[in-house]
Structure 1
Amino acid sequence: MRLRLVPDDTKIDFFRLKFFTFGASVLAMIASVVLFLSVGLNYGIDFKGGTTIRTDSEVAVDIGAYRDALSPLGLGDISITEVTDPTRPDLHVAQIRIQAQDGDQAITNDTITEVKAALNAADSTMTFPSVESVGPKVSGELVWTAVEAVVLSVLAVLFYIWLRFEWQFSVGAVIALVHDVTLTIGVFSLLQIKFDLAIIAALLTIVGYSLNDTVVVFDRVRENLRKFKTTPLKEVLNLSINETLSRTVMTSLTTLIALFALFVLGGDVIRGFVFAMIWGIIVGTYSSVFIASTILLRLDVTRDTSKPTKTSGNQFANIDA
């Protein structure tokens, strides 16, 4: 017995409200850009600069105890991560990152002394083998590197879809990706969730997930264009989206279940990353259905009607991917 979240032979008209859905997306993108320019992002230590302190201990790392010990110092954004030192497997190693204070490149020596004293109160066996600072210049370079990574990934998508399909498909896919990334940045700007390198990783993951969803729909569109050479493009697009809707809903829902579990139980360290993934999957699924397909309908696709119609695909063509 197969579990089907979407009934067979659905005939939903996804373009009946295309002016509303597309217009709402355009307004949301404009609002996201305005929020980014006016409010800005709540950059984490990776982008603002700060000080990294490595700790070694003979007992297991207790991130909660470390955070409780440092909270009274009022140092702002603090990131605590347990790491592994392959050269000393007997030690328990943690990396503590503290944001720059009042625009300084790093925290002062007096503050570092207070941090060490507070941590030693929580763990008397703790030692501090290294203290390093990340200045504003390095942080600025990280910002531009992150932007370049996202832009280059979108350009790579444009080239890939262009080679696999036609240029109309690539334009639709890229606009959908820009839509997803822009709305994600807008939400982070609105909610002022900490934005660090982990969120950049989430953005790149969102690009890949949304692209996969869009390619599945576009692949079915290409098959149906070969089957129905004289059918209006709007009907072909609706048919293709409906045929892949079960797969789209099942994939998104199962992924969201896992992500919601991580969001609730994973703790503060990964919560921002998981939130970005949850939001990205929601808008990515939406854009694959309502944005990429609407752009494709607007640009139209040239079909060769001079050749006889052949059955498209293979013996597995009607199986949901």
Structure 2
Amino acid sequence: MLTKKLIDFMGLRNRRIAAALSIFFIIASLILIVVRGLNLGIDFTGGTVMEVAYPSSKAPDEVRQLLAKNGYQGIVQNFGSSRDIMIRLTPKKGENNESPEARAALSEKMTAILKSETPNVEVKRVDFVGPQVGDELREQGGLAFLVTLGGIMLYVAFRFEYRFAVAAIASLLHDAVVTVGFFALTQLEFDLSVLAAVLAILGYSINDTIVIFDRERENFRKLRTETVTNVLNISINETLVRTIMTSFATLIVVVAIYVFGSDATRNFSLALIVGIISGVYSTIYIASSMLITMGISKESLIPPERKDEELDAMP
């Protein structure tokens, strides 16, 4: 059944190379996360968000330099148009913005700093995120990630077999760790939108994995004379076009958002780009490869054939 037209994804040499690459990326990502850490946004650390409108186009670097002269650091970016600026300030050491009075004073101070350079600048919105809220969001984000993984594992174990569930979770953890490691490497801001992208990657990746698992289960029952490696290879090749076309179509949209979208959606779309590429790789080389490693067999999925005596006894 296995012919030259099929790509030998599950060949021993290819599986070893893929395993080495996967281990390298996971270890490198974990080291980056621990050593460099994440550049957490104010959603997690607390801080101030301001939206201001200038009468004409304004470069974010000019606003950033103005704030730095006055001792404030943060993220400054355009949103909506070149006239609109979003400012995300991290709190100063020793500066307490918990009380309404302190927040009002900070808002007036920031407005005065901006108006000192451009008197007719318009402050549209000022929001504050306290450090306690940031801690709560961080905990809830981690909990959402764990609940998502647990739900997926239970679903896959119930629908297929426990080895499929373990393989699927290993594949998803690879995608999540590599994506977060990328943000640790680049030190791009990691905020709630990026966390949402990581959770979306889990859903996207498991969907592709389930499609391949379905074909593998079906082929295990049809191709009873083939080896496990051949059955997995045939299944992956049969679903390869679907995997590539679906991922390519999604990437076109996400890349368009990254290139033509605003700065507010750039990190979100970049996380999806990394996650989608990683998901295609892990679905093929981690999820299916782990089934072989864990000793999946045709007997695990093929219902036992009925004996002649049992067939004769049926009405």
- Is the pair's TM-score, using the shorter chain for normalization, greater than 0.5? yes
Whole-angstrom distance in 2 between the partners of 1:266 and 1:278: 14
For structure 1, which runs of at least 5 residues remain unmatched after alignment? Answer: 1-8, 84-92, 309-321
Match of 1:294 in 2: 289
CA–CA separation in structure 2 for the residues paired with 1:22 and 1:294: 9
Alpha-carbon displacement from aligned partner over 1:251-310 (angstroms, at most 9, x marks no partner): 1111112222221111321111111000000000000000000111222141436327xx
2:58 partner SS: helix
C-alpha offsets along residues 61-96 of structure 1, whole Å, 9 cap, x if unaligned? Answer: 88963846632112322367979xxxxxxxxx9975
SS of alignment partner, residue 78 of structure 1:
strand
Aligned-residue offset at 1:142: 1.4
Q: Secondary structure at the match of 2:305?
A: coil
Higher helix share: 2
2:248 pairs with 1:253:
yes
Cα shift readout 1:135-185 (whole Å, capped 9, x = no counterpart): 322212211111111111011100111111111111111100001001111
Post-superposition offset of 1:103 = 6.1
Identity across matched positions, percent: 37
- Alpha carbons 1:172, 1:291 under 8 Å: kept: yes
Aligned to 2:312: none
Residue aligned with 1:65, SS = coil
Runs of 4+ in 1 over 4 A off after TM superposition: 61-64, 66-69, 79-83, 93-96, 107-111, 118-123
Cα displacement (A) at 1:53? 4.4
Compute the TM-score of the two structures, normalised by the length of structure 1.
0.79
Map residues 1-321 of structure 1 onto 2, 5 A cutoff. 10-16=5-11, 17-53=14-50, 65=58, 67=60, 70-71=63-64, 72-74=66-68, 75-78=72-75, 96-102=87-93, 104-106=95-97, 112-120=107-115, 122=118, 124=120, 126=122, 131-299=126-294, 300-301=296-297, 302-304=300-302, 306-307=304-305
After superposition, the C-alpha distances for 1:15-71 in whole angstroms (9 at most, x for unaligned) are: 22101111210121111111111110011111121124477x8xxx88963846632
**In the alignment, which residue of structure 1 is the partner of 2:309?**
none
What value does the CA root-mean-square deviation take over the aligned residues? 3.0
- 8 Å Cα contact 2:39/2:189 also seen in 1: yes
How far has the Cα of 1:207 moved from its partner?
Answer: 0.2
Give the structure-2-normalised TM-score.
0.81
Which position in structure 1 is the counterpart of 2:313? Answer: none
Contact 1:41 1:195 in 2 (8 A): yes
